[in-house]
Amino acid sequence: MAEILTENTMLDWGIALAAWALLSIFLLAAKRVVVHRLSIIAQRTGTPLDDIAADVLSSTSLMFIVIIAGYAGTHFLSLPMAQQSAVFRIAAIAFLIQAALWGDKGIRLWLAHCIKRAETENAASVTSTAVLGFVARMVLWIVIVLMILDNLGFNITTLIASLGIGGIAVALAVQNILGDIFASLSIVLDKPFSVGDFIIVDDAMGTVEFVGLKTTRLRSLSGEQIVFSNADLLKSRIRNYKRMEERRVAFTIGVVYRTTEAQLCAIPQIVREAIEMHPQVRFDRTHFKAFGQSSLDFEVVYYIADPDYNLYMDIQQAINLTLLRRFAHENIEFAYPSQTVYLATSGAGE
């Protein structure tokens, strides 16, 4: 310290302090002007980038401005090599911390914008956006911390190796939790389902309410919440009805054995007309399929161009009522379980 004082005159110190103060005032004023201009531009445009840029710059800390201005002021002083290195490290660490704060703020703002847009346009991407945002922030801070440690003179190669060995031990201890976390990332990236989808997993079914880092939660038809671990969920066969492009419907009609040949030949056309009267439906086929135990069976197949279950039930009900009326008009009887018993009489001489 004595060396610094003796090698610099009062004029040198005055110039350094003046430069420090003037540069601090200039940077503060520049920050306010730039943020104000960006805010005005943001009000005129529909893009979120200028809004995010204005918010990110407004988060610049006063401490960072003071440290950077002080570092610039030291250039007017004659400092020993050790002091120059220390001042540079302080300025570099301040810049790295401020860069991390800028990046973290930018990621959070962009994440909030994406989630808000996804809630109205694409609810499926809400979870993936949140998880990827968390991962991006975590990676950002890890990189910044390693850069700060390297700037302070630590051997980060040895540190990373040590963390790697410790990480393996921790990973073995919490492998179930890590399995669920990696499974959640797989769900985010592969998107077998998303929030709002109706899925069936083994014998459980419901609407996806939440996809977290460890668990996924469904709301069942009866109202209770069903919770799956993400790792177990991905090991199961999942049927996603929300992504059904069209619904295939197959059902069987049975008529009694005493139905005439002419009536049997008329049934396919009657069924076709009953189905094609609905505009959302695409008729596929009707065939006399089999001789049942107590009925002559026809198999009917059609497609509905909408996966909605209530719509399917409404259409099927309308088809059934139409068939009841048409069959009654044509005197065609529906079959019901029955048995016919034939009795053989004995001969007269017995």
Query: 227 has which bridge partners?
Result: 217
| 34-45 residue pLDDT tens | 888 888 887 777
* 318 neighbors 280 (Cβ within 8 angstroms): no
Lowest mean pLDDT among 128-132, 223-227, 305-309, 321-325: 128-132
pLDDT at 4 over 70: no
Nearest-CA neighbor of 334 among 308, 296, 303?
Answer: 296
Q: Which is higher by pLDDT, 293 or 298? A: 298
| 319-335 residue pLDDT tens | 999 999 999 999 999 99
Band (89; pLDDT cuts 50, 70, 90)? confident
Longest C-alpha distance within the chain, in Å? 150
> What pLDDT, on the 0 to 100 scale, is given for residue 2?
47
Q: Encode burial over 143-160: b for 16+ CB neighbours within 10 A, e otherwise.
A: ebeebbeebeeeebeeee
> What pLDDT, on the 0 to 100 scale, is given for residue 5?
56
Nearest-CA neighbor of 23 among 91, 82, 103?
Answer: 91
Amino acid letter, residue 198: F
Alpha-helix runs per DSSP H in the chain: 2-7, 10-44, 49-58, 62-73, 81-121, 126-151, 156-173, 175-190, 230-235, 261-276, 309-329
Q: Domain-by-domain residue ranges, the chain?
A: 2-171, 184-240, 247-329
Band (216; pLDDT cuts 50, 70, 90)? confident
Fold for the domain defined by 184-240: SH3 type barrels. (2.30.30)
* 337 neighbors 284 (Cβ within 8 angstroms): no
d(CA 135, CA 90): 28
Read off the pTM: 0.53
pLDDT at 297 over 90: yes
What mean pLDDT comes out for the span 69-82?
81
| 147-181 residue pLDDT tens | 888 887 777 776 666 666 666 655 555 566 667 77
At the top level of CATH, the class of 247-329 is alpha beta
> What pLDDT, on the 0 to 100 scale, is given for residue 180?
72
pLDDT at 247 over 60: yes
Decide: residue 59, CB within 10 A, 0-12 exposed, 13-18 middle, 19+ buried: middle
d(CA 318, CA 313): 9
d(CA 141, CA 133): 13
> What pLDDT, on the 0 to 100 scale, is given for residue 61?
86
Q: What angle do CA 30, 34, 40 make, to 5 degrees?
A: 150
